[in-house]
Amino acid sequence: MVCCTVTKKRILAVLLFVLAAVLAICGCFYGARAVQASARKRELPIYNVKTDEKKIAISFDAAWGNEETQPLIDILKRYNVKTTFFVIGAWVDKYPDSVRALSAAGHEVCNHSDTHPHMPKLSQSEMTAQITACNEKVKAVTGVSPLLFRPPYGDYNDTVIKTANNMKMYPIQWSVDKHDIRVKNYL
């Protein structure tokens, strides 16, 4: 009789443990679904584009001097590489010949704001003004209005992304950042 009581208690304990585990697992899944269902969808820029082709997209931000611009254009030409340059409007003002050279070499010249601010700190109208001013400067020099916008510092929020989208522009972000690389290392 003692043997049967111990076995029944063990079986009951195991069943209670299994029941508790099943309830915990169901609770976790339900909880995850509840959080997922109630979580606000965050606006995101484009980090990459799915393709079956074996290719990468290379881009550069131009908010610095222009002493390495022509050597970079020459290197890209040597390897038949076309890329996207995200320029700030102030850079366009200072180096219009470099902007023309990028465009003439077949590279895409796109928008990186007018003065390189932290966009999330701006009002929506200030964001629009930053993007518009840069677009106008690029178009005045190249004849083409940019379709891509990269927020300075990679700093964005929902308002930045929605503002770019509302302006019929595609907000772009990098997926791999080799920030310390210098052109002169490859000359």
Residues 150 and 74 in one domain: yes
54 domain-assigned:
no
When divided into structural domains, the chain yields a total of 2
The H-assigned helical ranges of the chain are 2-38, 69-78, 89-94, 96-104, 124-142, 158-166
Same domain, 113 and 170: yes
Residue 2, domain member (yes or no):
yes
Q: Are residues 69 and 158 in the same domain?
A: yes
Predicted confidence at residue 37, as pLDDT, reads 54
| pLDDT number for residue 49 | 84
Residues 135 and 178 both lie in one domain = yes
Q: Which of 109, 61, 106 is nearest to 80 (CA)?
A: 106
Question: In the prediction, which pLDDT does 42 show?
Answer: 86
Q: Are residues 19 and 108 in the same domain?
A: no
User: pLDDT in tens for each of the 187 residues of the chain?
Assistant: 444 445 656 665 555 554 454 445 555 444 445 445 556 788 888 788 888 998 888 899 999 899 999 999 999 999 999 999 999 999 999 999 999 999 999 999 999 999 999 999 999 999 999 999 999 999 999 999 999 999 999 999 999 999 999 999 999 998 776 554 554 454 4
* pLDDT on residue 158: 93
Range of the domain at 157: 59-186
**In contact, 109 and 103? CB cutoff 8 Å:** yes
Classified as helix, coil or strand, 85 is strand
Same-domain pairing of 79 and 148: yes
